[in-house]
Structure 1
Amino acid sequence: MEFRQLQLFVAVAEELHFGRAAARVGMAQPLFSQQIRKLEAGLGVELLARTSRRVALTSAGSRFLDDARELLARRAEVISTVRRAAQGETGTLRVGFGASSAFGILPRIVHRFRSRFPDVKLELDDREKLDVGVALSTGDLDLAIVRAPFRHDGVTVEQLLRERFVLALPARHPRARQKAVALASLASEPFVLFPRHSAPGLHDTITSMCLGAGFSPLIRQEASSWPSVVGMVQAGLGITVAPMSAQALRPTGVVFRELNGASGWAELVVAFRGPHLMPAAAHFRMIAHETVTLARE
């Protein structure tokens, strides 16, 4: 039994006339009739009762008509599903991200992706101890948005966003009245920062900037996430240096000020295995770059 034979049977069952059915599918009537008989022979069942004046469905033919329509509909559904998966419109996409990329641009990227590809199941992974490079290499992640510098064998890295650093400090801090604060003037201030293992590149960039300004930061408190870091700043436990996009958190009791003398940049990158991406990941990457471009305008 072939799907083409099912299509021919549905046509004659609906027309109840071999000539009209053959014309409907664009086939010569003798060949059409031959295919219907092959179908019946293969099933070992008479589907159509034929006389010189009329064609009628047998009881088996009536039952088979429902099944044939269901099989054809299911076939069309399967073909559509496979094609949509190949085009990156369905399936599962696993995206890793660092804690500091969770504010600012990432929520906008996710929103745009979900609105454009609602049938792709998006799984976001921000586990603190996740080795993103290994996860990309093994296929546990399809793509990641993390802070630079980021390097791992077999992983391609593209710059997504480059931004300045700002100073976050309690609103009641004496320096909160200043429009800009010199990094070198913070040598005696207690710092709140995240553990180095959670974002080594960003941690090293911040500490290197401080060393370049003539001091090693006095890290008195550590927190695993940026909201927690900012919360400690809010509580007056210290100050912190953060990417400019951290201002999107807008915490009460914390102010952000320009930072003079900070030589480094906070960079956000897209990382993925090899030179090529699966279709859904390629869509996410495209939307990420598109979202950053629109944010700059």
Structure 2
Amino acid sequence: MPIETATSAARSMEFRHLRYFLALAEELHYGRAAQRLAISQPPLSVAIQQLEAGVGARLFDRDSKGVRLTPAGAAFRTSAQALLERAEDACAQAREVQAGEVGRLRLGFVGSTLYSGLSGWLQAFQASHPKVEVVVIELNSQDQIDALLQEELDLGLVHTDRLPPALAARPLYSEPFLACLPASHPLAALAEIALAALSDQPFILFSRKGSPDYHARIVEICRRHGFFNPRLQHEGRHWLSVVSLVSQGLGVSIVPAAFQRAGVQGAVFRPLAEAIEGSAVFAAWRKDSAGVLREKFLAAMPGPTADRPPGLANM
């Protein structure tokens, strides 16, 4: 059969033709096959004729002795069964994708979430959605925003809700800021630290380039509580780098409370004496992106009324 004719025949074939064919191939009796398909016999006969015309081969022999598969019909039966099974699998997969039960979610996260329950949320989500592949990538807030705009991430966990118009945000939780000092620092012996006491200390801050909004917020906190500008000594692109630099005695910092559980030797954490706004974490995504998997994952995370993520309740 010429390629053009074969292609036309395949296009004219319907899945009901295959179902009708397979029922007749198993029953080898038009009456029983029609009863099994819950149709009358004439539509079955017409469908088989249409299928044979489309295939370009006789699939059944019919005579006074009954109905038999031809060699062509026997060969076609195997392929028809496989094709129908593949179609059913494709339909099932499409339903699962639509329901958010299968697929791939590319998740960006800031380092603090790793110590605020992210691993637990991931494990719970994977247990309830075993067919969903979650790819996690640690990036600072600005890099996540860029990746979301470039469609390289499906969801980001960031420290800011000041986003480009193409992105949307939802608050997840907030946690306190703590003073972070070298263990050998004289102020480390205090139960709490007044911000003014840090005014003459070398500061280590999160990179302005990595998260301009977050950097500006910490500088503003310092300005409101005792000193005009922190004495910026070093910057880190990730909070864990900031804590590590503090542990080496290179300065002090103000960091999200989650990092006291990072296990960095040589760094101590103390509550701030002043009541200041906490470190907020937001979910961010493209407004024009599909949202089923995203919403499924967010449903497993703490809501906007949660002041502290799991693990911080006893602080």
Please, what TM-score do these two structures have when normalized by structure 1? 0.88
Deviation (angstroms), 1:278: 2.1
Inter-CA distance 78–6: structure 2 relative to 1 (3 Å threshold) = same
* Equivalent pair of 1:194/1:224 in contact (CA under 8 Å): yes
Asked if 1:5 is matched to 2:17, the reply is yes
After TM superposition, the structure 1 stretch with the greater mean CA deviation from structure 2, 22-31 or 286-295, is: 286-295
Deviation (angstroms), 1:233: 1.8
Residue type at the aligned position of 1:4: R
* Equivalent pair of 1:206/1:264 in contact (CA under 8 Å): no
**Structure 2: distance between partners of 1:153 and 1:226:** 27
Aligned equivalent of 2:86: 74
* Equivalent pair of 1:96/1:126 in contact (CA under 8 Å): yes
Deviation (angstroms), 1:45: 1.4
**Structure 2: distance between partners of 1:189 and 1:276:** 45
* Equivalent pair of 1:101/1:147 in contact (CA under 8 Å): no
**Structure 2: distance between partners of 1:292 and 1:236:** 37
Please, what TM-score do these two structures have when normalized by structure 2? 0.84
Note the residue ranges of structure 2 that are not aligned, 5 or more in a row.
1-12
Asked if 1:224 is matched to 2:260, the reply is no
1:181 alignment partner, SS class: coil
* Equivalent pair of 2:179/2:255 in contact (CA under 8 Å): yes
**Structure 2: distance between partners of 1:131 and 1:249:** 22
* Equivalent pair of 1:159/1:268 in contact (CA under 8 Å): yes
Deviation (angstroms), 1:257: 1.4
* Equivalent pair of 1:105/1:291 in contact (CA under 8 Å): no
Inter-CA distance 88–281: structure 2 relative to 1 (3 Å threshold) = same
RMSD, aligned CA: 2.6
What percent identity do the matched residue pairs reach?
35
Q: 2:27 aligns with which of 3, 7, 15?
A: 15
Q: Deviations over 1:139-188 (max 9, x none)?
A: 34332211125232232222111121112222333333322222211122
Q: Deviations over 1:216-274 (max 9, x none)?
A: 22222222222222212222222221111222312233222111125232111112233
Residue type at the aligned position of 2:25: A
Residue type at the aligned position of 1:49: D
**Structure 1: distance between partners of 2:217 and 2:66:** 86
Aligned equivalent of 1:252: 265
Q: Deviations over 1:1-44 (max 9, x none)?
A: 22101101111111222222111111112322232222223222
After TM superposition, the structure 1 stretch with the greater mean CA deviation from structure 2, 147-156 or 235-244, is: 147-156
Residue type at the aligned position of 2:230: P
* Equivalent pair of 1:168/1:256 in contact (CA under 8 Å): yes
Deviation (angstroms), 1:129: 8.7
Note the residue ranges of structure 1 that are not aligned, 5 or more in a row.
none
**Structure 1: distance between partners of 2:289 and 2:76:** 46
* Equivalent pair of 2:142/2:209 in contact (CA under 8 Å): no
* Equivalent pair of 2:195/2:226 in contact (CA under 8 Å): no
